[in-house]
Structure 1
Amino acid sequence: MTREVKPRILRRTGTWIFMALLCCGMYAMALVVWLTTMSYNSVGEALMLTSVAMAISWFMIRFGRARVEIHEGGLVIIDVVRREWIPWGAYRRVDTDEGLTIITRGDKEHSSAAFGGSLIDEMLKRRGKSSTVKAATEIKAASRAASPESLREKEVTVKRWELIPADLLLAQVLVCLALTQSGILPM
């Protein structure tokens, strides 16, 4: 019986917290817009403005969940709209020149929005405090400690669109658009 090891999650904590706070701000703005436009008896405008706020928060949720997970058998890159499985057998090296880039067999590059290049990260890299460099160090250490069984798999798997519960926020945009454009709800 094999024991399931909890994956090590690598992300920029600041980005995740910032996106969570922005989402809360968008929800508060949607509530304020809804309450203030209700007094003008304009349900259509209130619905459209709140649906735009919800659509923006959908993107923030998607961007805030971007991360790299280190598993026993390889890496999982969870990006804004896709998920990539990189087994240790396909992994070759990690590069931090322009963000975190994982190079696999055939010199294919895989990167994540969680560790994109930025001027702030370049400055922190010179000081030795870069989260991208720390993530690369952890990935290198995990690849060296990979078991012989995990080195057998060599095929990178990419899932182009992964549905998450936050995707339901987009459905209300279409419903609101249809209601206002059809004339059921006046603008």
Structure 2
Amino acid sequence: MLKTEKNYKRLKGSQSFRQRLLLSTLYSTPIIIEDIRTDETWPGLHSHEISLLRLFETVCDDCRVVINQTGTKLKYVPGTIMGGRINRPHDCGVSRSIGYFLEPLVVLCLFAKEPLTITLKGITNDSKDPSVDTFKATAFHILKRFGVDFEALSLKIESRGLPPNGGGEVILSLPIVQSLTVSF
């Protein structure tokens, strides 16, 4: 059943895009984001944001995304976070590095129905986002402090890729958790 627009949480602008999608999905709250870069030279969603939406669609069942023609309005209805073994690699593109995608993906898929294994292709190192090496060295240790099985976490770097051509490839494996605990 399609939700009416009054059931959506309404947001404006492009700030905190990843966090908005992540929280919308974790809380099963549909959102509408309007006025996405309407005053900029290149209005609307950027290619990496569209790729992130496609990634969320890949790991979630019944996730629905509707983008208007100019890309300045987005309707997002989150689905069930499934995880599982994703057989088709996700192309992250070359406008942002794989680290941009890993940050929300790791948090999201800890709460999936099945452990996640996915291949991400694109840039492994750039000046905007954490490199895959930095991500692996820091995020996994932080997750361990929240009770995530450290031995089940894996980020295997198959190849490296730099702007402007990309060509990098990593394989991410995540366990699932029932809840997070804090231990310091």
Query: If the TM-score is normalised by the length of the shorter chain, which range does it land in?
Result: under 0.3
Q: Between Structure 1 and Structure 2, which shows a larger proportion of helix residues?
A: 1
Q: Normalized against structure 1, the TM-score is what? A: 0.25
User: Which protein is bigger by CA-based radius of gyration?
Assistant: 1
Q: Normalized against structure 2, the TM-score is what? A: 0.25
Q: Between Structure 1 and Structure 2, which shows a larger proportion of strand residues?
A: 2
